[in-house]
Amino acid sequence: MTQINENYLKLKAGYLFPEIGRRVKAYSDANQNAKIIRLGIGDVTLPLAPTIVNAMVDAAKEMGSAGGFHGYGPEQGYSFLIQKIIAHDYTARGVQIAEDEVFVSDGSKCDCGNIQEIFSLDSKIAVVDPVYPVYVDTNVMAGRTGEVGPDGRYANIIYMPATEENNFEPDFPKEKPDIIYLCYPNNPTGMVATKARLSEWVNYAKKMGSIILYDSAYESFIQDPEIPKSIYEIPGAKEVAMEFRSFSKTAGFTGTRCAYLVIPKDLKGKTKSGEEVSFNSLWNRRHTTKFNGVSYVTQKGAEAVFSAQGQVEIREQISYYMENAKLIREGLNKAGYKVFGGTNAPYIWLKTPRGLKSWEFFDELLGKAQVVGTPGSGFGPAGEGYFRLSAFGKREDVISAIDRIQKM
């Protein structure tokens, strides 16, 4: 009989969001008249902006003509989109990025999960705790970790706790990491990193010979102009960091699927014999081998995001979600909860009341208010005693949810 990859058996019982879905379904089946409000998974609710839709419709019509049909495109992405990405997200911030340093993909989740393939299995990873589960789970699947311990932590992973006690700003690892996962604005805590702090991370990575995997999927929600939107705003970052970006939350592409990964050619790793190799070339080989590219229609929609009207429309949507975040944050404060985040990110991180465990509070919130959030412990052991609410709901649902919570 064919053997399985036993690393999968190390994983905890289920991925966080399917477990939430299972519990919500069980409650819904038993309470069929309940109107459940979902502020858990970070899925957008506003429709695609008109400029994006029009661009995709026009592209679809092109595909229906002999002269406009597009078959396989470049796996790395069409130049028309990559040029707009560079001009808007990098050149405008004084950062020089070359076209062949940008790789268009079908999502940052996929990129964050797949990127570990180009690193040695001997690489030691460091993650902020709590953390987006994909970072940890994909390394477990690959065999880069040991078994999970009674404390919920996997052996051979460096955990960097981010809690109220350290203002959600993790300390640098004392043990040398080969790969450091950073996410700012942070999912799940909603916190951001200042330019000074990011500079410290870049300097630390240089000193330790580490690589930073910088997940910047929520950069468009930053309201404070002093907070950097790209790690490449930090001098020297191109030598130690690759950056993940997404259209999912920025432009509502959660169901449309488009993102991109920046890997500067200055970013190098070493073979066992000491030879330097560009991570850019390794990822290009992986990307072109295992991926056939994002559809032409989708990339034309993504290009429209950077048009003048497209920018107006997506900024309106971002403002809508950030107003939701404000309503949630202020409403929870009024109800006596201790709340973090929600000012430069679409996530609100709250401390569970009365010392409740995260899943205990999940069940209480669902049972008493019919509101769904995300238990903090699902993001890692340091998330125990915390809870995440998403600002991506509809305005009327957000208002209703806060009213229900205040009446609990």
Residue numbers belonging to the annotated binding site for substrate = 15, 42, 109, 132, 187, 292, 388
The whole-angstrom separation of Cα 229 and Cα 218 is 9
Residues 6+ apart with CB under 8 A from 87: 306
- Binding-site residues sit at 15, 42, 72, 108-109, 132, 187, 218, 246-248, 257, 292, 388
Chain centroid offset of residue 20 CA:
18
- Binding-site residues for pyridoxal 5'-phosphate sit at 72, 108-109, 132, 187, 218, 246-248, 257, 292
The whole-angstrom separation of Cα 279 and Cα 286 is 10
Torsion, CA 334, CA 338, CA 340, CA 346, rounded to 10:
-50
b/e map of 339-362 (b: 16 or more CB within 10 Å)?
bbbbbbbbbbbbbbeeebebbebb
Which residue in 185, 187, 300 sits closest to 251, CA to CA?
A: 300
The whole-angstrom separation of Cα 183 and Cα 127 is 10
Using CA of residue 26, residue 31, residue 35, residue 39, what is the dihedral sign? negative
The whole-angstrom separation of Cα 59 and Cα 179 is 40
The whole-angstrom separation of Cα 288 and Cα 280 is 12
Which residue in 156, 162, 193, 161 sits closest to 176, CA to CA?
A: 156
The whole-angstrom separation of Cα 309 and Cα 233 is 26
Residues 6+ apart with CB under 8 A from 85: 102, 245, 260, 306
* Cis geometry, peptide bond prior to residue 235 (ω within 30 degrees of 0): no
